[in-house]
């Protein structure tokens, strides 16, 4: 037997599992999701911060983001910001709530009873194409320049997406579900309550999300005329007074309110459609 034929012991440092064989440390899913959703916003805010400081844009018209935050914080600490936010929220919620209360029942009727839709649809299409800004002077004639005018103009823009979303959700239910419900000998009332209404919720919430966006858009327009408070008034008045920092504060608050409204409606949809089974991808 030669020395070359003798077994050679592996070094103690060589283990059965090498570092390359060790399982990779996985990043938690929520961390990855938060990174993916915030990276673009963080890059945008960083660009906003450095662009005026490096002279890429005029800092008079686009001050650094940090300076805007400081001015907004001081304005809030003085108790001047919340009254504008509160008034705008009351107006937006008033118009949005009125739109939901009227559009959802009407959409259910038009979606379920096609004979009613046949007669009302031409009129509704005509009204839907009417520019809301052109109706603003008419609302002022009827309601003055107070609260009701602003609620009315917001209502006019939010009612249509909610109405169309409700009609689509009621009318275009999955035929397979309807066929299955019919095979179970469900009455029309049971079919409507147990199949049609739950299936129409995603389309309805989509319409409400669009309506929430439109409500804040029209809120600014309504508060630019005949108002002495509100976020729209704050934006316009800051422009006149060349308080550019406050102007951006108002814009940021409006954006945050819109994001919050959208997030709440998404949570509502998940709550109302918890019965849905998500596919395993």
Q: Which residue has the higher pLDDT, 134 or 12?
A: 134
Place 257 in a pLDDT band, splitting at 50, 70 and 90: very high
- Mean pLDDT over 10-18 rounds to 49
CATH homologous superfamily for 79-272?
A: MetI-like (1.10.3720.10)
Query: For position 22, what pLDDT does the model report?
Result: 46
Query: For position 275, what pLDDT does the model report?
Result: 64
Cβ-contact 199, 142 below 8 angstroms: no
Instruction: Indicate the range of 14-23, 87-96, 147-156, 222-231 predicted with least confidence.
Output: 14-23
Q: What is the mean pLDDT of the chain?
A: 84
Residue by residue, DSSP assigns the chain as --GGGS--PPPTT--SS-GGGSPPPPPPHHHHHHHHHHHHHHHHHHHHHHHHHTTSS-TTTS--HHHHHHHHHHHHHTT-HHHHHHHHHHHHHHHHHHHHHHHHHHHHHHHH-HHHHHHHHHHHHHHHTS-HHHHHHHHHHHHTTSHHHHHHHHHHHHHHHHHHHHHHHHHT--HHHHHHHHHTT--HHHHIIIIIHHHHHHHHHHHHHHHHHHHHHHHHHHHTSS-SSSHHHHHHHHHHTT-HHHHHHHHHHHHHHHHHHHHHHHHHHHHHTTT------
Any idea what the Cα angle at residue 266 is, between residues 260 and 271, rounded to 5°? 125
Query: For position 1, what pLDDT does the model report?
Result: 47
Instruction: Indicate the range of 55-59, 103-107, 143-147, 273-277 predicted with least confidence.
Output: 273-277
Cβ-contact 258, 158 below 8 angstroms: no
Question: Per residue in 24-34, pLDDT tens?
Answer: 567 787 778 77
Question: Per residue in 63-118, pLDDT tens?
Answer: 999 999 999 999 999 999 999 999 999 999 999 999 999 999 999 999 888 888 88
Q: Which residue has the higher pLDDT, 18 or 61?
A: 61
- Mean pLDDT over 151-178 rounds to 89
- Mean pLDDT over 218-246 rounds to 88
Query: For position 4, what pLDDT does the model report?
Result: 47
Question: Per residue in 176-231, pLDDT tens?
Answer: 777 777 777 777 788 777 888 888 888 999 999 999 999 998 988 888 877 788 99
Query: For position 3, what pLDDT does the model report?
Result: 47
């Amino acid at each position: 037997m030669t020395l070359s034929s003798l077994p050679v012991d592996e070094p103690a440092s060589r283990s059965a599992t090498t570092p390359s064989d060790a399982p990779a440390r996985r990043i938690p899913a929520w961390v990855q999701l938060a990174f993916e959703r915030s990276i673009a916003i963080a890059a945008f805010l960083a660009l906003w911060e450095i662009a005026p400081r490096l002279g890429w844009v005029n800092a008079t018209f686009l001050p650094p983001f940090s300076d805007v935050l400081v001015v907004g914080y001081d304005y809030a600490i003085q108790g001047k910001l919340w009254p504008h936010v509160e008034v705008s929220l009351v107006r937006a919620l008033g118009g949005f709530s009125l739109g939901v209360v009227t559009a959802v029942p009407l959409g259910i009727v038009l979606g379920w009873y096609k004979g009613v839709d046949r007669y009302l649809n031409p009129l509704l299409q005509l009204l839907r194409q009417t520019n809301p800004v052109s109706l603003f002077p008419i609302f002022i004639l009827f309601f003055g320049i107070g609260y009701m005018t602003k609620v009315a103009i917001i209502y006019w823009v939010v009612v249509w997406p909610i109405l169309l979303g409700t009609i689509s959700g009621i009318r275009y239910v999955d035929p397979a579900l309807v066929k299955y419900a019919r095979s179970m000998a469900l009455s029309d009332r049971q079919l409507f309550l147990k199949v049609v209404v739950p299936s129409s919720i995603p389309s309805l919430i989509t319409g409400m999300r669009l309506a929430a966006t439109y409500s804040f858009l029209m809120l600014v327009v309504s508060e630019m005329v005949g108002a002495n408070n509100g976020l729209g008034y704050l934006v316009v008045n800051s422009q006149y007074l060349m308080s550019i920092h406050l102007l951006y504060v108002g814009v940021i608050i409006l954006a945050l309110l819109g994001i919050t409204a959208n997030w709440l409606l998404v949570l509502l949809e998940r709550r109302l459609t918890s019965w849905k089974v998500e596919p395993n991808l």
